[in-house]
Amino acid sequence: MIQRILVANRGEIARRVFTTCRRLGIGTVAVFSDADADLPFVREADLAVRLPGVTPAETYLRGDLVVEAARRAGADAVHPGYGFLSENAGFARAVTEAGLTWIGPTWESIETMGSKVAAKKLMAEAGVPVFGEVDPAAATEDDLPLLVKASAGGGGRGMRIVRSLDQLAEQVALASAEAESAFGDPTVFCEPYLEHGRHVEVQVIGDQHGQVLVLGDRDCSIQRRHQKVIEEAPAPGLPHHVRETLHEGARLAAEAISYVGAGTVEFMVSGDKVSFLEMNTRLQVEHPVTEAVFGIDLVEQQIRVAEGNPVPQAPTDPRGHAVEVRLYAEDPAADYQPQSGRLDRLEVPADLEFEQFATWGTRLDSGFVSGNDVGTHYDAMLAKVIAWAPTRALALRQLAGLLRRSRVHGLRTNCDQLVELLEHPVYVDERMSTAFLTEEDLVSTSTGLVPGDPEDRSRACFAAAMAVVEEARLARTVQAGIPAGWRNVHSGPQVETFELAGEELRVGWRRTHEGLELVDLHGDLEGVRLDGVTPIEGGYRVVVDHDDLRAPYDVFVTGHRVDVESAAGHLALTRVPRFVDPAEQVHAGSLLAPMPGTVIAVQAESGAAVEPGQPLLVLEAMKMQHTINAPTAGLLEVAVQVGQQVSAGDVLAVVSAGSTSEEDEGDQG
């Protein structure tokens, strides 16, 4: 029996595996990069081994260092988690050759399915329905749209949708570069892209005795940048014969390679048409929804199968409905740019954390806690939040309510967008597809845009101003006993200025005989006054009275950031200083880094005339590539070079007013 497991991964999945190990009485070992030294998974392991460096290539992708860490820590087994080396056949082989137990499929199975090109051919021979591959060199207009896809790995890296043949070569090159960076393998291929297909997958567990257990299906159609955002089990609205085709196809796929361990077979579904996408020879991020509806611990079953035990007897039909959302540090309003920095507060009031469901409820799986720093070298996912209920409608409502009560401060996230998605009529009515996020008009696309009427936003901003005033009063050492806002002579209102998603909001207030009241500088909102301010942990409870309607707001002031929480949602404000430091001003036309990252390409030279929308530089951050385009026409001055590390707000280049080549030709004519 396994005595001590090293998890060759980080963050949330490491904590998830440790939770099961503790319950089973198995010792745990973590490996960690320098960037992750202060994260919870390192503290929670029985032993932890440092991997010097910060990038994946220096640390979590170094299989030789991971095997040596297992030897040093006395581990007798390795769990790969997902991502990094989890689907690396060479690493699996190295683990077994070192005399350690590999908690996963054989390296031969990983190798067979690791090449999506070869896997498709094998699946077709096994009777699994598959898409045909398209040679990019021979592609025609009739083949469009195409999906360029990395042959190795997953998670949306190395994927591009191509709708124009003149973009195909460029997108293949970009996908190949991204795949090599994420997985160490630049191989990509092309296949037809279903504009309105559904992404449905089937969970399987195989054992060393040739048995395969099929544990239902999941829908993972809600995606951005080909990465999943919402997953649910069972997949809703599928006809019975389609579900049978999916389950049988997954069984055939697993049996064709004598699969051992937990794995997922992914399909695209359009009407009655089913086509194999790939097999993930590992545990999936969304495994908790299957655990909920089947009452099974998939990590425990991975360990048991690795120890030689048969697959368990499990229910053949799911019970209830489970939905999972992925909470990302990203800005949906800015094309889902990943965010990094200090996570001031992460409070999700779920019933469970990593533990298995015993009854209906909610669960949180997160790699972070309040006060952690979110870096740029790894995935932008902060947490997974899961709800399990008797019906899909109840699960959606329960999960949306939990997210509304959550507090995530310090970074922009997709939390507000998740709430809107869970309540969107198209999604609620089970009419979703992989194109949903690109086609639907979503309002709450960025934390800081609170749904509801403008009056509530005004009241929330007034509450924020009152918390700032109270904090300043408590910090005073001179005239501390004088009430805030007191004046000998009546004068104009005092003003606090905030910024919200690029919009400047001015909040006026003054003291009257009845206390502090709002002076609406933007409209005719009257009758809003402060009912009281009391300290709470980390902030203030501000009660606002508006014509006898009392509304509480919890306000947290962190430097220039002010976060307001209420029944209406989260308002992420930034205080605007009265005076701007000249040193912080930048030259007009400056292109600033939207996030910390590494410059991996400079596509135009200094002195070149550029056109609006022309690609100028490419940044890599959180394992994704981000192209910086010219905002206007002009002359380019590049301020960085390839390989340079930049921080958010650094000047990358300047596009100054100047004649373009076309204008020059026009002048000469």
CATH of the domain at 83: 3.40.50.20
Residues 570, 461, single domain; the answer is yes
Per the domain annotation, does 231 fall within a domain?
Answer: no
- Domain assignment present for 156: no
Prior bond of 234 cis (ω within 30°): yes
365-391: burial string, b at 16+ Cβ within 10 Å, e else: bbbbeeebebbbbbbbbbbbbbbbbee
Average pLDDT over residues 92-113: 97
The pLDDT value given to residue 381: 96
Per the listing, tokens 């955002």 go with 229
Q: Are 648 and 595 in contact (CB under 8 A)?
A: yes
Say if residue 647's pLDDT is above 90: no
Residues 637, 555, single domain; the answer is: no
User: Same structural domain for residues 353 and 388?
Assistant: yes
CATH code, domain carrying 495 = 3.30.700
| pLDDT: which is higher, 449 or 496 | 496
Same domain, 596 and 490: no
Domain end call among 404, 427, 447: 447
Over residues 163-170, the mean pLDDT reads 90
**Are 534 and 470 spatial neighbours (Cβ–Cβ below 8 Å)?**
no
Same domain for 422 and 498? no
Output the pLDDT for position 669.
41
Give the lowest-confidence range in 496-505, 506-515, 542-551, 577-586.
Answer: 577-586
Order of all β-strands in the sheet with 160-162: 160-162, 146-150, 188-192
185 inside domain: no
Instruction: Judge whether residue 663 has pLDDT over 50.
Output: no
Of all helices (H) and strands (E), which one includes residue 628?
A: strand 624-629
Q: For the residues 120-146, what does the mean pLDDT come to?
A: 88
pLDDT of residue 43: 97
The predicted pLDDT at position 586 comes to 60
123 in any annotated domain? no
With b meaning 16 or more CB within 10 Å and e meaning fewer, what string describes 602-615? bebeeebbbeeebe
Answer yes or no: are the C-beta atoms of 228 and 321 closer than 8 Å. no
Q: Which helix (H) or strand (E) holds 592?
A: strand 590-592
Average the pLDDT over each of 51-55, 66-70, 261-265, 583-587 and give the range with the smallest value: 583-587
Least confident of 74-78, 210-214, 614-618: 614-618
pLDDT of residue 191: 84
Q: Are 435 and 195 a contacting pair, CB within 8 Å?
A: yes
Q: Has residue 660 got a pLDDT over 80?
A: no
Summarize the confidence of residues 577-595 as an average pLDDT: 68
Residues 499 and 441 placed together within one structural domain of the fold = no
Q: How confident is the model at residue 286 (pLDDT cuts 50, 70, 90)?
A: very high
For residues 582 and 512, the model is more confident at 512
pLDDT at 577: 83
Residues 543 and 609 in one domain: no
DSSP string, 513-569: TTEEEEE-SSS----EEEEEEEEETTEEEEEEEETTEEEEEEEEEETTEEEEEETTE
Tens of pLDDT, residues 308-349? 999 998 888 999 999 999 999 998 888 888 999 999 999 999
Q: Mean pLDDT throughout 75-89? A: 96
Cα–Cα distances in angstroms (integers) from residue 69 to residues 35, 48, 49, 77, 228, in the given order:
18, 9, 6, 12, 32
d(CA 58, CA 54): 7
> 449 pLDDT exceeds 70?
no
Which pLDDT score is estimated for 153?
A: 64
Of 286-290, 296-300, 504-508, where does mean pLDDT reach its minimum? Answer: 504-508
Q: How many domains does the chain have?
A: 4
CATH code where residue 593 lies? 2.40.50.100
Arithmetic mean of pLDDT over the chain? 89
Confidence tier at 667 by pLDDT (50, 70, 90)? very low
Higher pLDDT, 324 or 665: 324
Residue 28 CB: number of other CB atoms within 10 A? 25
d(CA 482, CA 507): 22
Could you tell me the pLDDT band of residue 256, with boundaries at 50, 70 and 90? very high
Asked if residues 609 and 658 have their Cβ atoms less than 8 Å apart, the reply is yes
- Asked, for residue 398, whether it belongs to a domain, the answer is yes
* Position 553 in a domain: yes
Among 124-128, 171-175, 657-661, 665-669, top mean pLDDT goes to: 124-128
Q: How many whole angstroms separate alpha carbon 31 and alpha carbon 387?
A: 30
Residue 223 lies in a domain: no
CATH number of domain containing 367: 3.30.470.20
Mean pLDDT of 347-366: 98
Q: What is the pLDDT of residue 400?
A: 97
What single-letter DSSP state applies at residue 35?
G
Instruction: Report the percent of the chain where pLDDT is more than 70.
Output: 91
Question: Which tokens belong to 255?
Answer: 């049996």
How far is residue 669's CA from residue 664's CA, in Å, rounded to a whole number?
Answer: 9
| Same-domain check for residues 409 and 518 | no
Q: Which range of residues forms the domain containing residue 68? A: 4-103
Lowest-pLDDT range of 230-244, 270-284, 570-584: 570-584
Enclosing H/E stretch for 122:
helix 116-125
447, 473, 503 - which closes a domain:
447
Q: Who wins on pLDDT, 631 or 366?
A: 366
Question: Higher-confidence residue: 503 or 47?
Answer: 47
Please state the rounded mean pLDDT for residues 223-234.
93
665 CB contacts (<8 Å, ≥6 apart)?
none
Same domain, 442 and 472: no
Residues 388 and 485 in one domain: no
Check whether residue 462 and residue 563 sit in a common domain. Answer: yes
pLDDT at 646: 86
Burial class of residue 225 (count of CB atoms within 10 Å of its CB; 0-12, 13-18, 19+): middle
User: Would residue 67 count as lying in a domain?
Assistant: yes
Determine the pLDDT at residue 21.
98
Q: What is the pLDDT of residue 275?
A: 93
pLDDT at 486: 56
Helix axes 63-73, 89-97, angle to 10 degrees: 30
- SS3 assignment, position 280: strand
Picking from 447, 479, 504, the residue at the C-terminal end of a domain is: 447
Could you tell me if 328 and 442 lie in one domain?
A: yes
Contact 640, 652 (CB under 8 A): yes
